[in-house]
Structure 1
Amino acid sequence: MLALQCSLKVLVIILTIHMHAGILLPTISDKCLACICHVESRCNRNIGCRWDVGSDSCGPLQIKEVFWKDCHRPGGGYKQCANDYNCAKRCTQAFMKRYGGKTCGTTCEDYARMHNGGPSGCKKSSTNWYWNKIKEAGCNRHS
């Protein structure tokens, strides 16, 4: 029993160190979210909707309806939420919480590539260009 307690304490210490070192992000960080917002719209809160790859992308985070549905449909409706920065931020956080650590990891790179390519976006080579844009916006893997 004592060995198990010691093992659990060591695990908690290791996880705490990793979280403070930016290695494990239990949710998307504000900095990573800001880089995504910058890449998507220069964080223009009045951008509205744009046609993009077969459907509308709306708001400062350029959220698609399927993304909004995956984040549990917050706000008064898809376009209303996507065009409201605070609702879009909550939606993105919920999406990343739902899929981060399951289909992808929990680094800023994973989150950014999921934002661009869906729940398994981190595994798609088609999201590499997007990650490069996020890095150009000032984020790194552990932001």
Structure 2
Amino acid sequence: MYGLAILFIFGSLIQILLAQEQLTDTCIKCICGAITNCNQNLGCENDVCGAFRITQMYWLDAGQPVIGTDDPQSDESFARCATDQACAEITVRNYLTKYITDCNGDGVIDCYDYAKLHRFGPSNCTNTVEELYKNLIIDCMSSG
């Protein structure tokens, strides 16, 4: 009984470690490119901010990364981080690593899964993504 539990936990740990290796800098750049062409001049509109179009809930789920010594409880910290490329990338990495999911059910966690996870969140990442977004991710990853 304990052997099966340990084997299951070990197998899950290996899957997570393999998945984390797939979250490359190239993948992060491809997600940014597919969302906004990585336009770093974007501020906040409605409830989304920055080149990754991050919401405050996404930022909270990602552990509230901040720039320098900003206070994560400050009203300005979310917008400052989401509109700063380095802080936004940390936010995206944290979020995607936290919610690792095989969104397309093919048994492999790759950048396409991360892109869907970023777009829809963990509860809805099995949703069908727009062809343009899908193609931008696939083309970007294949060109490396």
TM-score of the aligned structures, taking structure 1 as reference length: 0.68
| Alignment of 1:108 onto 2:102 | no
Match of 1:60 in 2: 51
- Unaligned runs of at least 5 residues, structure 1: 1-7
TM-score of the aligned structures, taking structure 2 as reference length: 0.68
- Unaligned runs of at least 5 residues, structure 2: 1-6, 71-76
Aligned length: 117
How far does residue 100 in structure 1 lie from its aligned partner after superposition? 0.6
Moved over 6 A (4+): none
Distance 1:36 1:42 in 2: 9
Contact 1:113 1:128 (8 Å CA) reproduced: no
| Alignment of 1:47 onto 2:55 | no
Match of 2:61 in 1: 70
- RMSD in angstroms over aligned alpha carbons? 2.8
1:1-143 equivalences under 5 Å are: 24-26=18-20, 28-51=23-46, 56-75=47-66, 76=70, 77-101=77-101, 104=103, 106-125=109-128, 127-129=129-131, 130-136=133-139, 138-140=140-142
> Identity of aligned pairs, percent?
33
Distance 1:81 1:39 in 2: 20
